[in-house]
């Protein structure tokens, strides 16, 4: 569980991606699309998500993975977490029950569906943090149109960018980030959000961030790429019988 929380915090589950563009359009157009996209994020109730997180700190490079499929109402999530090496953990979250596979053994335990952990995983899989980020950046976003997708992008560390970057950290790291956020100085922030032209739902996301803790002097470089497929088209599923029949309790 501890490994999962650490990787989840590092994820800062936000989204984006680059596409070949045909033309750039005006800020008002970007503003309107951002507002619609922000509303559509809140309608996501199922899908497949894959987040790859590359972090550089004190000269050490780590690569993490969070991938899963989900549907909400009721909550059902299948999540795979990797650290870039051989360590891979698998999870099922079925309402207030959690199943975890570690070292080829499945474990079962209780988890509050309203807990910060479950909320954090939902934010990452649904990309819900983007709603607030898009809303706050809407007047500063650039828009590039493609055949089937649009890409909204922002790059900078002006007050709007710094605020958005800290929103990302707070949203994805949870309440535990509140105490240290005041000591964080954002030195680089880049955000891209690619959405389907027809549905305004996300297809790819990207965030690049550099920040420094002014108290500890620790600097971090982080890049997160996300892909989103089958949004609102995943059929309801459950924990397989093969898992339920071979578990140990926490």
* CATH at residue 66: 2.50.20.20
Number of separate domains in the chain: 1
DSSP symbol at 140: G
Note every long-range contact of 18-23, with CB atoms under 8 Å and residues 24 or more positions apart, other chains counting: 18/151, 18/192, 18/194, 18/204, 18/206, 19/144, 19/146, 19/149, 19/151, 19/194, 19/204, 20/146, 21/144, 21/145, 21/146, 21/151, 22/144, 22/145, 22/146, 22/147, 23/144, 23/145
pTM for the model stands at: 0.85
Low-confidence stretches of the chain (pLDDT beneath 70): 1-28, 84-86, 172, 175
pLDDT reported for residue 178: 78
Tokens representing 30?
A: 């970007």
Cβ–Cβ < 8 Å for 77, 122 = yes
pLDDT reported for residue 9: 40
**152-170: pLDDT as tens digits:** 999 999 999 999 999 888 8
Distance CA 209, CA 55 (A): 10
Phi, psi of 75 (to 5 degrees): -70, 130
Residue 127's DSSP bridge partners are none
Angle CA 179–166–13, to nearest 5: 105
pLDDT reported for residue 41: 96
pLDDT reported for residue 173: 74
pLDDT reported for residue 171: 75
Cβ–Cβ < 8 Å for 44, 232 = yes
pLDDT reported for residue 184: 93
User: Which structural domain, as residue segments, surrounds residue 224?
Assistant: 2-249
**Dihedral through CA 21, CA 22, CA 25, CA 31, nearest 10?**
-40
Distance CA 103, CA 105 (A): 6
pLDDT reported for residue 169: 84
How many angstroms separate the Cα of 139 from the Cα of each of 24, 189, 200?
A: 15, 16, 18
Distance CA 114, CA 96 (A): 9
Handedness of CA 125, 126, 129, 130 (dihedral sign): positive
> Taking each helix axis from N to C terminus, what angle separates 129-137 and 159-173, rounded to the nearest 10 degrees?
170
């Amino acid at each position: 569980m501890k490994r999962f929380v650490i990787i989840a915090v590092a994820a800062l589950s936000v989204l984006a991606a680059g596409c070949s563009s045909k033309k750039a359009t005006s800020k008002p157009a970007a503003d309107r699309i951002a507002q619609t996209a922000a509303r559509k994020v809140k309608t996501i109730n199922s899908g497949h998500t894959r987040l790859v997180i590359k972090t550089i700190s004190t000269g050490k490079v780590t690569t993490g993975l969070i991938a899963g499929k989900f549907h909400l109402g009721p909550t059902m999530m299948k999540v795979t977490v990797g650290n870039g090496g051989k360590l891979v953990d698998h999870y099922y979250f079925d309402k207030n029950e959690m199943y975890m596979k570690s070292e080829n053994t499945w474990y079962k335990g209780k988890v509050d569906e309203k807990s910060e952990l479950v909320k954090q995983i939902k934010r990452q899989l649904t990309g819900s943090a983007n709603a607030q980020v898009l809303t706050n950046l809407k007047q500063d976003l650039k828009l590039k149109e493609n055949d089937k997708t649009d890409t909204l992008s922002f790059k900078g560390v002006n007050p709007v960018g710094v605020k958005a970057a800290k929103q990302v950290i707070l949203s994805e790291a949870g309440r535990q980030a509140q105490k240290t956020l005041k000591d964080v100085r954002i030195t680089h922030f880049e955000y891209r959000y690619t959405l389907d032209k027809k549905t305004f739902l996300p297809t790819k996301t990207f965030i690049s961030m550099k920040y420094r803790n002014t108290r500890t002097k620790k600097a971090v470089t982080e890049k997160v790429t996300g892909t989103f497929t089958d949004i609102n088209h995943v059929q309801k599923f459950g924990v397989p019988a093969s898992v339920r029949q071979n578990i140990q309790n926490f």
